[in-house]
Amino acid sequence: MASIVPQIKLSENGPKVSRIIYGTWHMTGMNENDEHLLSNPENILSRIKACVGVGITTFDLSDLYGYYQFERLFGEALKLEPDLKKKIQIITKTDIVKPCEAVPKCRIKYYNTSREYILQQVNRSLGMLGVDHIDLLLLHRQDMLMDADEVAEAFKQLHSEGKVLHFGGSNFTIQHFKLLQSRLPFKLVSNQFEFSPYEMSALTDDRLDYFQRKRIAPMAYSPLGSGKLFAKEPTEQTRRMRSTMEQIAADIGSEVSIDQVCYAWIMMHPANICPVIGTTSLNRIITAAKSVNLTLDRQQWTEIWSASTGAQVP
């Protein structure tokens, strides 16, 4: 399979990433339905290779995934084929502290953006992954107690040490993004948030307008509503969306599937949104890659918006 997915720059001074990013959460065993894939570097390696084979070279992780163990498994997978390290970009996140075996003193899930914690977690991630740098570090959730000066100190240190090349937010409002940016001598390069026909608030709460204006490509997680589009017991909304997408898929071409239509819907937005896909299926990784070649027209895009909202545009 030839490489299909193009590379884009997340922002003017940002890293090059693949237009479709591979999300690793469903491989981490934190979702109760996904445990079959936990603890197996070979399974992880086969997904990395399937992705790289179609041009999906950017991987989205978090220190938290797999109850703080998944980065180590991902690193073990890379050790099986060390040449892969040069071909991929690693995004990881930090700031969520969640009670589990790896964090014995933690009583309640909370966020930690202290300088000390960020430095500790990045050093840990580097060791677990077995890499000398992280391409992009995101603060995973918006910390209500974030001291932007303190985060900036940590980011500047990690940057000057060459441990992290770029920084961004995840689930950040525009105001929070601007606050952190105001303390940094370099630009934040992206924000990752949920966006799909199921979660369209970024269209109207100014996030997509802001990032388009700044020429910063956001990353859209849960592009299929975290699998809701394929639910065995679909809601009325999902039924409407499926039947609309099936019609559009049939109109576009004989081998087009509704997950591809959904990815194309996201990528049609002029903010250059990069879907972070969550499938663990080798075939669906290839299907997803092919969606970069699909184009919807404005009426098709709006039909999907209408199927989701159950209404016409005003």
Ligand X SMILES: NC(=O)c1ccc[n+]([C@@H]2O[C@H](COP(=O)([O-])OP(=O)(O)OC[C@H]3O[C@@H](n4cnc5c(N)ncnc54)[C@H](OP(=O)(O)O)[C@@H]3O)[C@@H](O)[C@H]2O)c1
Contact between 15 and 136 under an 8 Å Cβ cutoff? The reply is yes
**Is there binding between residue 284 and ligand X (CB under 6 A)?**
yes
Q: How far is the CB of 81 from ligand X (least distance, A)?
A: 21
**Is there binding between residue 234 and ligand X (CB under 6 A)?**
no
List, in order, residues 6 or more apart from 268 with CB less than 8 Å away.
Answer: 295, 296, 301
State the binding string over 155-194 for ligand X (x if CB under 6 A, else -).
---------------xx--------------------x--
List, in order, residues 6 or more apart from 160 with CB less than 8 Å away.
Answer: none
The verdict on whether 65 is a catalytic residue reads: yes
Helices (H), the chain: 41-53, 65-68, 70-80, 84-87, 115-129, 148-160, 174-182, 201-204, 207-213, 236-252, 258-267, 282-290, 298-309
Q: Which is nearer to ligand X, 112 or 171 (CB)?
A: 171
Q: How far is the CB of 244 from ligand X (least distance, A)?
A: 16
Measured CA to CA, the distance from residue 173 to residue 91 in angstroms comes to: 20
Using CB under 6 A, which of the segments 67-75, 209-217, 218-226, 234-242 binds ligand X?
A: 218-226
Contact between 258 and 250 under an 8 Å Cβ cutoff? The reply is no
Contact between 272 and 219 under an 8 Å Cβ cutoff? The reply is no
- Segment 100 to 139, residues that bind ligand X, using CB under 6 A: none
**Is there binding between residue 223 and ligand X (CB under 6 A)?**
yes
Q: How far is the CB of 80 from ligand X (least distance, A)?
A: 21
**Is there binding between residue 24 and ligand X (CB under 6 A)?**
yes
Q: What stretch of H or E contains 9?
A: strand 7-9
Measured CA to CA, the distance from residue 77 to residue 40 in angstroms comes to: 8
State the binding string over 25-54 for ligand X (x if CB under 6 A, else -).
xx----------------------------
Residue 49, exposed/middle/buried by CB under 10 A (0-12, 13-18, 19+)? middle
Using CB under 6 A, which of the segments 4-12, 20-28, 79-87, 248-256 binds ligand X?
A: 20-28
**Is there binding between residue 278 and ligand X (CB under 6 A)?**
yes
With CB under 6 A as the contact rule, the residue among 123, 182, 201, 281 that binds ligand X is 281
Q: Which are the catalytic amino acids?
A: 65
Residues at the site binding ligand X, with contacts judged by CB under 6 A: 23-26, 60, 140, 170-171, 192, 221-227, 230, 259, 276-281, 284
